[in-house]
Structure formats: C-alpha cells, structure tokens
C-alpha cells in the first residue's frame, strides 16, 4: 500500500470534517442552539488537517519502474541534481514537487493497419528506393528512458519525447536507409542488412536524446497497387517460363529415353549377329578340323572310304551299279531264295 496516497486521502477527509463541523456549528447557532466547544473542536481539527496535509505533501512513493525528478524552489538550478530512487522518499512540502518518469520498456508502432499503430489510420512510413519505387514500411520501436539521464530528458523533452523524438527520428532514418537499396533488395536479399543499419542508426540517435533502443522491428514492407500488379504479372510470367522449361526438359528426356531404347535394340541386333557369326566361325573351324582328321585317316587307309560307303547303304539294297572303270566288284548277297 502507498503510504503517501493514504495520508493524502486522510488529509482530504480531515478537511471535509472541518467543513462539516463548521457547517454544523453555524446551523445550530442559527437555531439558538449553539454547539458547546465548537470553536475548540474546529481549531483542533484544522491543526490536525494541516499536519496531515503537510506530511502527505512531503512523502513520495517511487515505484520500482519509476524515477523521480524533484523541482525545488530552494535549489540554485531549480531542481535537484539527483533523481529519487524507488521507495518512500521525503521532499520539502510546498517548496518541492516531484515529476515521475517510467523507465520500463515502451513500444511505438507505425502501421498501415488502422488500429495497430499509436496513430489511428494508415501510419506506415512511405519511402522511395534507390531505383525510384515507392514502398510502405511498418515498424515498431521498443525503447526505454535511460535511468541515468532522466533529469536531462526532463529538461530537454519532458513528456514530449515520444512524439518529438521517437516518431520523427524513426521515420527519417527508415526513409534514408530505404533509399540506399533497390526494391528487390529490400524485400529479399538485403532486408536483414537494412534492418541492421536502421537499428544501429536508431540506437545512436536515441542515445543522443537520453533514450535507450531495446529493439527495432521491421514488421512489413508493401508496395503501391501498380507495382504489386507488376510483380504479380512478373511472377506469373516466371511461372509460365518455368513450366515451359519443364515441358522442354520432359520432351528431351522422353526423346533421350526413345534414343536409348533404339540404341539398345540396335546393340542387341549387333550382338546377336556377332554371336551368330562367331558361332558359324566356330562351326566352320570344327568342320575343317574334322575334315583334316578324316583326310589324315584316309591317307593311310584308302579302302576305308569304300567301306564307309558300303556301310551307309540301306540294308534292303540287293543290286548296286558301279562305274565301268571300278577296279573290283564286291559280291552281293543272292537275291533269290533257296529252293
């Protein structure tokens, strides 16, 4: 519980009681029924209320996420050179007053969505790229007040730092950095680099104004309707080109497969012909070898050929005609049956 707030509430209540007692005393006096000890009671309550008011005016409770800047009529510069730290603190009543500043993290968002940003409506940053294209950027700045520079921030900006420091610095830096890249670089290969450069520059500029950059978030990048339509047409053309390339590659693959099948069939025919030729050569070689062996056998036994001839005759042959120059005639079996 905040004791300073409780005392302030009690002081207010005590003054209400003082007013009530005075009103009651006046009413009774008009009715000729004066209230006994009304003056003493009123004076006592006034003194008590003054004490409560004075004490409550001097007590200040600082939350853990706050720092207090003391404006003092008694100080030479008009303020204390040290901030009030968290806890219950005392200032000189009526001569000093405290201005509280939150040092917790804060977020300032600029977005095309009407209800997302700190400013209602389309609050995205409009920028021009290096190649003259118009882009719209949504961004969020997460920041905080430097706890060691709260007094200087109060002197320079007071509570205007969000509208007069965060917003103009962010929009200016984003525009400057976007102008260093082409539109295709921003949305693809150089987006991270762009975000890093903006973060570095924002950190420097906020530091110069007694603020700390926690993070910079590049939320979205979108284009004008004309450029978006051109990009869409380009993507469609690229898809059609890829599809055509795929069809060509497929036809080439089918032609290659057909060529390989034909080549395989031709190779099979060649292999078959070569096999037949090789088999015929082997057969011819075997026949020639056999003839050589037969020839060698006949050279030493010339009658063997006649013998082989006779043995090949059919068994039922009874008459045989020989050439008139035959050197001899083998007797043939008789063709008549015995009587």
**Could you report the per-residue pLDDT of 166-210, keeping only the tens digit for each?**
999 999 999 999 999 988 888 888 899 999 999 999 999 999 999
CATH 3.30.479.30 is the classification of domain 106-223: yes
The domain segmentation of the chain, as residue ranges, is 3-102, 106-223, 225-334
What pLDDT is recorded for position 316? 61
What pLDDT is recorded for position 195? 93
Class of residue 151 by CB neighbours under 10 A (exposed 0-12, middle 13-18, buried 19+): buried
pTM value is 0.61
What pLDDT is recorded for position 264? 81
Q: How many CA atoms lie within 13 A of 175 on its CB side?
A: 12
Three-state secondary-structure class, residue 300: helix
Number of other residues whose CB lies within 10 A of the CB of residue 111: 22
What pLDDT is recorded for position 335? 45
Give me the residues of the chain with pLDDT under 50, please.
Answer: 329, 332, 335-337, 339
What pLDDT is recorded for position 229? 63
What pLDDT is recorded for position 339? 47
| Maximum pairwise Cα distance, the chain | 201
Number of other residues whose CB lies within 10 A of the CB of residue 80: 18
Question: What residues have CB less than 8 Å from 328, skipping those under 6 apart?
Answer: none
The 10s digit of each residue's pLDDT in 33-78 is 777 777 788 888 888 888 888 888 888 999 999 999 999 998 888 9
């Amino acid at each position: 519980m905040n004791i300073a707030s409780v005392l302030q509430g009690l002081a207010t209540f005590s003054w209400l009681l003082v007013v009530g007692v005075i009103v009651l005393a006046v009413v009774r006096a008009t009715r000729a029924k004066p209230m006994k000890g009304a003056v003493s009671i009123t004076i006592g309550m006034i003194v008590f209320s003054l004490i409560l008011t004075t004490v409550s005016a001097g007590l200040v409770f600082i939350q853990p996420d706050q720092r207090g800047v003391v404006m003092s009529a008694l100080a030479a510069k008009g303020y204390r050179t040290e901030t009030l730290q968290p806890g219950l603190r005392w200032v000189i009543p009526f001569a000093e007053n405290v201005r509280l500043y939150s040092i917790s993290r804060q977020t300032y968002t600029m977005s095309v969505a009407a209800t997302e940003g700190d400013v209602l409506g389309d609050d995205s940053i409009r920028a021009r790229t290096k190649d003259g294209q118009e882009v719209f950027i949504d961004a969020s700045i997460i920041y905080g007040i430097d706890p060691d520079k709260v007094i200087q921030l109060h002197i320079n900006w007071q509570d205007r730092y969000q509208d007069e420091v965060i917003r103009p610095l962010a929009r200016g830096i984003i525009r400057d950095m976007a102008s260093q890249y082409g539109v295709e670089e921003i949305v693809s290969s150089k987006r991270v680099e762009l975000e890093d450069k903006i973060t570095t520059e924002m950190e420097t500029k906020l530091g110069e104004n007694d603020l700390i950059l926690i993070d910079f978030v590049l939320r979205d990048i979108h284009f004008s309707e004309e450029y978006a339509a051109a990009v869409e047409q380009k993507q469609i053309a690229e898809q059609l080109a890829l599809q055509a390339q795929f069809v060509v590659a497929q036809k080439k693959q089918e032609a290659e497969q057909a060529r390989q099948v034909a080549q395989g069939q031709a190779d099979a025919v060649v292999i078959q012909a070569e096999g037949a030729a090789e088999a015929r050569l082997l057969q011819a070689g075997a026949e020639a070898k056999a003839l050589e062996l037969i020839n060698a056998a006949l050279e030493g036994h010339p009658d063997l050929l006649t013998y082989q001839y006779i043995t090949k005759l059919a068994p039922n042959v009874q008459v045989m005609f020989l050439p008139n120059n035959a050197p001899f005639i083998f007797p043939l079996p008789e063709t008549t049956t015995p009587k």
